Amino acid sequence: MVRANKAKEKGIGSYKTKVVRHWDSICTIYSKDHVNGKGDMTGAENATKPEEPIEVSPEMAPKRARTGEAIMCMIGEMRTTFKDDLKTTDPLPFPMATPPSEILAALQLIPDFTQDDMLRSYGKLIMNERLFESLMELPMHMRKNWLLVLP
């Protein structure tokens, strides 16, 4: 416990067992109706005073649109188009995929291609359409080496 000599240091008061510096100032600041300047009003006086209407000058530039509102507006448009899309009963077109028989026929055309290599390559090509398109663009003498290099 710190004890202070009031005669030595002004502005120190004790609060129960602790010494609080500037006790008098703290009490003044946090008192209920503290007014510290000319023309200031207490909280009760402020509450009774009617608010004055704020005038808006016509020369002011319009405020920038809120981004949140713009995003919500776009989402609203998306919702309406999505609902319109759901209303249509037309079946969706299936993506164009190369039939497995065509992939197998292309692999059988490669000269000196063993059956094991053909099966491994077939498994890779049926999973990825782009790989098959790439294979078909290669010249015949490069296809075997390219298929064996694939991971």
- Please report, for the chain, the start and end positions of each structural domain, with discontinuous segments joined by +: 1-29, 100-149
**At residue 60, does pLDDT exceed 90?**
no
Whether residue 33 contacts residue 44, with contact meaning beta carbons closer than 8 Å, is answered with yes
- Going by the DSSP 8-state scheme, the letter that residue 125 receives in this structure is H
pLDDT in tens, 78-117: 666 666 666 767 777 777 788 999 999 999 999 999 999 9
Secondary structure class of 139 (helix, strand, coil): coil
The rounded Cα 22 to chain-centroid distance in angstroms is: 49
Digit-coded pLDDT (tens) for 9-24: 555 555 556 777 777 7
| Residue type at position 29 | I
Q: Is the pLDDT of residue 25 over 90?
A: no
**Closest C-alpha among 111, 112, 97, 102 to residue 136:** 102
Query: pTM of the predicted model, to two decimals?
Result: 0.39
pLDDT at 124 over 60: yes
Residue 107's closest CA among 135, 72, 149, 88? 135
